Amino acid sequence: MHNWSVNEEELKKHPDEYQRWRLEQLINFGLGQEKISARDLRSQLPQLRIDPARRRYLNLLLDDSATSH
């Protein structure tokens, strides 16, 4: 993933902020061939700035994946 409007090297100096930003980018603009870790998503989902409908859908997926194991 390449983002022309953000200095990723500078953002990487703040791991929590970088992880949150990266998840937001992947969710809002597409994954490509990447996959999101359920563990990372669970930990960051409450803080992510994403569409409420998308948040509900991701919560549904995370709840379903927890009960299917």
> pLDDT tens for residues 14-54?
999 999 999 999 999 988 898 999 999 999 999 999 999 99
- pTM of the predicted structure, to 2 decimals: 0.81
- CA distance linking residue 48 with residue 8, whole number of Å: 18
Q: Which of 69, 10, 67, 21 is nearest to 44 (CA)?
A: 21
